[in-house]
Amino acid sequence: MDMDTSLPRQTISSSLQAQTVHERRRAIAALLRRPLLTPGEKGASDFMLVRRHAAWLREWFMRHCQWTLHVESEMARLRKTPGDLNDSTRPLLDSKEQSFTRRRYVVLCLALAVLEKSERQTVLRRLADAIAGEFASDPQLGRNGVSFDLALREHRRDLVEVIKHLIDLRVLTRVDGDEQYFLTSPDQDALYNINGAALAAMLNVRRGPSTMAARSTEERINAIVDEPFPDTEEGRHRRLRTRLFRRLLNDPVTYYSWLSEEERAYFVSQRPSIVKEIEGATGLVQETRREGVAMIDPDELMTDVKMPEEGTDGHATLLIAEHLANRLRDERRDPVSISELEGYVESLIRQHRHHWRKDVGEPGAASLLLYEALGRMEMLRLIDVDPKNHVVTPLPAIGRFAVGTPRDDASPTRERTP
């Protein structure tokens, strides 16, 4: 008797195809979350998926985003360029999830420069002295208000946080000692191996910064990542499509008002095809509103920053978000002063201090709670902070936190660019 084996074969083929789609989505998410991947303990499985699907990933990122992907046996590097080069809401976060300061960014750049000149190993004290020497040899740093003094604990902490970041990226591997002891005594030392391939992959530019003739920071940033597109109608459309893909993949929310008139017109006409491609490749889900589009991450594969839900910080952040969302629901779209919000947080402390952590009663606690909450909400595109005028403007996406509105777990999420 003949047996029909077509159904099992179809089932197996369908299962394999579904597995391939799932693996590629995980690989894309891993690269968007950590554009420099190494086969360490944290990302070993993700790294293997990236290597397995390297050819497909390389072609997809280049075709839709003009991002290059370099994969080798010990490293995968996605060279991303953000859709908005002026975005200041994507800071590096230290071990306590605090934003890197200006000094830390300078120390990071100088540390990379010093490591480039090093052999396969280095010690903390030698690295620290070399960075201090770079500061001493460049008076322009001092004129710009950036200093580095190893006698100061705060400055040593900056170096320690930079080293922790490089260890996390596996640019450095700790062999002996612990940089944490360097905080209490500048005589403490530690030994590191240097991953030359990861170190060389850190710089993400299309032109060397030293070749730039531009003066202003904005001009220099634009120049080092400038990409040539054909000066044709097709080239113009490709540039627009690339920018929109980058925004939708990188940003939790894309507001129409933040797009240029040309970008907005192109997006309105091409949104179905662009969004369909992103949803199919990544598993993100479109949430469309009159003001813009949010790409929701239901499985949280790409999520690295989200609204906190537990503890004092989480409770305070959600209450502040609710307060701003209710203002928006009541058609109060005008900016609110930071001093007014500090007063609101002080009222929250009086109301909830019996079950919040003890230090909320200390001077300045309201300002600190507010600062943390606003920073998180700004990253998620829920608010716009104007530090010059000391005001906050609630944005449409914060409406999901208003009292009485249905909410789900798929709140807008985002990814940092190192």
Q: Domain of residue 163: give its range.
A: 102-201
- In the prediction, which pLDDT does 121 show? 96
Instruction: Please answer whether residues 330 and 404 qualify as being in contact, where contact means their C-beta atoms are separated by less than 8 angstroms.
Output: no
- Tally of domains within the chain: 4
CATH number of the domain bearing residue 108:
1.10.10
**Mind listing the pLDDT tens digit of every residue in the chain (418 residues)?**
455 555 577 777 778 889 999 999 999 999 999 999 988 767 789 999 999 999 999 999 999 999 999 999 889 999 999 888 888 888 888 888 888 999 999 999 999 999 999 999 999 999 999 999 999 999 999 998 999 999 999 999 999 999 999 999 999 999 999 999 999 988 899 999 999 999 999 988 887 777 777 677 778 888 888 888 888 999 999 999 999 999 999 888 999 999 999 999 999 999 999 999 999 999 999 998 889 999 989 888 887 777 776 789 899 999 999 999 999 888 888 899 999 999 999 999 999 989 999 888 899 999 999 998 999 899 889 999 999 999 999 999 998 887 754 444 444 444 433 3
Query: What global pTM score does this model have?
Result: 0.84
- In the prediction, which pLDDT does 1 show? 47
| Burial degree of 16 (CB within 10 A; 0-12, 13-18, 19+) | exposed
Q: Which residues of 325-338 are buried (b: 16+ CB within 10 A; e: fewer)?
A: bbbbbeeeeebbeb
Task: Tell me, yes or no, whether 177 and 235 share the same domain.
Answer: no
Token pair for 134: 């770079």
Q: Is residue 319, in this structure, part of any structural domain at all? A: yes
Token pair for 178: 């612990």
Task: Tell me, yes or no, whether 120 and 39 share the same domain.
Answer: no
Q: Is residue 1, in this structure, part of any structural domain at all? A: no
